[in-house]
A and B are shown apart, each in its own frame.
Chain A
Amino acid sequence: MIEVKGLTRYYGDFPAVRDVSFTIGENVIVGFLGLNGAGKSTVLKVLGGILMPSAGLVKIAGVDALEAPDSTRKTIGYLPEEPPLYREMKVAEFLRWCGQIRGMAAADVEKRLPEVMKICQLTHVADRVILELSHGYKKRVGIAQAIIHNPKLVILDEPISGLDPVQIVEMREVLKTLKTTCTVLVSSHILSEISQTCDRILVLHEGRIVAEGSESDLKRRLRGKLAVEYVVRGDKADVQKTIAAVEGVSSCEVKTDDDMVSAHVVFDQDAREAAAAALVAAGFGLRAMYERTSSELEEVFIGLTREGEADHKEAA
């Protein structure tokens, strides 16, 4: 369904996305995971035909999106983080217009409209002015405008941001329904959302894909890496310097907690005792040691972005 090779996008001199490549099949939900500024929205905008890439190849359903942007846009539905809505229009009127500008005949829009209203649970607000709707309903109208023309690819940028817990559950159901008819790309920095709805996750960091696979694939990738948190009395910079000098330490993140220093250390090999010994030998008061497993997706994500960053520095 989607083939991306060497996608690069600059904003001025700033490379927002660098040499990104991936392929995505049909009828799957794929999540783009990353911190703010990681390049998720830029990748989605390029796939949606909103931005042109600075370099690289983008094919949607076998068609080069650069050579035939108008025809590829007909097959794509796009919803940015803030739903683009003409607030003075009524819901049904707005959706009819959206269908028509995407090349649907008026009669086809009329046939499709009840189905879309049902999927997005908008039937009872069809004649309401968009301005009067709550944030959750506006988001649903945003999704409805993205799917009204029966697209093969639906791109949803942060679809659950700003929704309450009930609305999040409802949105998950909508995404699952969409998956039966098209490929869905979702971006989010809410990791639990990605893990619950997506078949595959692409992790972006500083414009690059640092990891990809299912949730279990990503966890497996970090399994075997030891992580220990040392609580130490001493100077923050000195603690970091001492731990970083120990052989087998992959990364060390230090933060100050009251008058204590907390060092989150990830090991390439088991050097837990050596690190503790180094801290004691350097004269720091070692108050506690906690083993930190990378079982939670948040941990996996942090580990992957650090790993990706380290790989990139090494390559550079």
Chain B
Amino acid sequence: MFDPNTKILIVDDMLTMRKIVKKIFRDLGFTNITEAHDGKDAWEKVQTGNFGLIMSDWNMPVCSGLDFLKMVRSDKNLAKTPFILVTAEAEQHQVAEAIKSGVDNYVVKPFSQEALKLKLEATHKKITIRNSAQ
């Protein structure tokens, strides 16, 4: 599982959703949490943030979660940052597109604390395996 001190960036254009996700992370023991209100805001924050996990909504104005993911993956300093996309629409072609773009996992809204915990564990395991193979 991710270390509770992991620096987490939550990206969502909806203030309410950021509060809900932040609360779930806090209930799971994470304390180092930063918020961004869209992909553009998030892109500025990751330049200096040294984040250990990004959890971004997909459907946002200005810069979508998928566009932000592509920007992160194409930056050599950020490319390996664990990235989870949050979506309300888990259609097959969307999931395929996200995986093709390098997402580590995705969560379908609405989700419970337990569901997010399982996603975080699976993501951490996947990243550990990936890093040990490199």
Is the A/B pair a real complex? no
* Chain B residues with a Cβ under 8 A of chain A: none
